[in-house]
């Protein structure tokens, strides 16, 4: 190890002790009901890009097992691989932009997913205004899955609130997606904030939820003040539904580690 890297690692270790960060126990990475815990880098979007190496190390010290960001595809893939290897983190699923699927980029995107063992990709946002558009979009996602299937990769969608609150010809966008059996990264925080029941949706989408976004249903952190989610019920139902990952996303304050650290502390204390 180079002297500069040694000094930086030593400083990080001392910092972790000072702020009370806990390293992963010898018993293995943090999980709840067998569901592994990752973090969406959007939670610390204002700070992680300034020093990704330090961010990865700090998140690992909190107990997180995986990381997620649409920006990973845009980074130098060799450097990203080294950061992951050095910390023991893995990439959890992979959001995509439609620009990643152009003829020039599709092969590179598939190669990225294969290199980093990503077997579920999803579009994180779409906003349409008619039933025809949502029906066409749901079928587009279904057809897109055929392009990824030879590589062992599933294709899905990530919900926000508008897919639950808007209605087009008597149906919500979520219902159009459900009709096509589109896999989901189910954002339980947005479900709760849209006055929907995350447990009911997990049961409805049984087998179609590879991962959930563990977003506070109110408040700043998972399990913190204002969060109305029943996390014990959510994790129990998600495990029964075949969910493998829960990805913490704290959106209200993206310039601090405090909320992802508080979320890790809460999840570590949940009974499995």
Q: What is the pLDDT along the chain (272 residues), one digit of tens a residue?
A: 333 333 333 344 333 433 333 333 334 579 999 999 999 999 999 999 999 999 999 999 999 999 999 999 999 999 999 999 999 999 999 999 999 999 999 999 999 999 999 999 999 999 999 999 999 999 999 999 999 999 999 999 999 999 999 999 999 999 999 999 999 999 999 999 999 999 999 999 999 999 999 999 999 999 999 999 999 999 999 999 999 999 999 999 999 999 999 999 999 999 65
The closest alpha carbon to 159, from 130, 133, 137, 127, belongs to 127
Q: Which domains does the chain have, with CATH numbers?
A: 25-269 (3.20.20.150)
The whole model's pTM is what?
Answer: 0.90
The closest alpha carbon to 120, from 159, 71, 154, 158, belongs to 154
Residue 165 buriedness (CB in 10 A; 0-12 / 13-18 / 19+): middle
């Amino acid at each position: 190890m180079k002297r500069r890297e040694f000094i930086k690692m030593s400083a990080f270790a001392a910092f972790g002790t000072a702020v009370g960060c806990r390293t992963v126990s010898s018993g293995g990475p943090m999980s709840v009901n067998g569901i592994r815990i990752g973090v969406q880098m959007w939670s610390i979007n204002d700070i992680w890009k300034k020093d990704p190496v330090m961010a990865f190390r700090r998140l690992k010290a909190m107990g997180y097992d995986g990381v997620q960001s649409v920006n990973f595809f845009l980074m130098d893939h060799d450097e990203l691989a080294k950061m992951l290897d050095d910390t023991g983190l893995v990439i959890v699923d992979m959001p995509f932009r439609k620009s990643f699927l152009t003829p020039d980029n599709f092969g590179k995107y598939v190669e990225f997913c294969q290199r980093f063992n990503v077997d579920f990709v999803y579009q994180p946002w779409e906003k349409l205004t008619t039933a025809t558009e949502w029906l066409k979009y749901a079928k587009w996602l279904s057809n897109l899955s055929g392009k990824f299937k030879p590589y062992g990769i599933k294709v899905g969608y990530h919900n926000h609130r508008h897919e639950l609150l808007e209605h087009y010809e008597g149906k919500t966008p979520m219902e159009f997606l459900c009709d096509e059996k589109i896999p989901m990264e189910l954002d339980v925080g947005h479900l709760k904030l849209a006055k929907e029941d995350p447990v009911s949706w997990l049961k409805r989408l049984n087998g179609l939820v590879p991962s959930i976004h563990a977003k506070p249903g109110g408040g700043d952190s998972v399990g913190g003040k204002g969060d109305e989610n029943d996390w014990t019920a959510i994790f129990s139902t998600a495990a029964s539904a075949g969910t493998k990952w829960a990805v913490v996303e704290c959106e209200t304050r993206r310039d601090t580690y405090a909320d992802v650290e508080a979320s890790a502390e809460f999840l570590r204390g949940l009974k499995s």
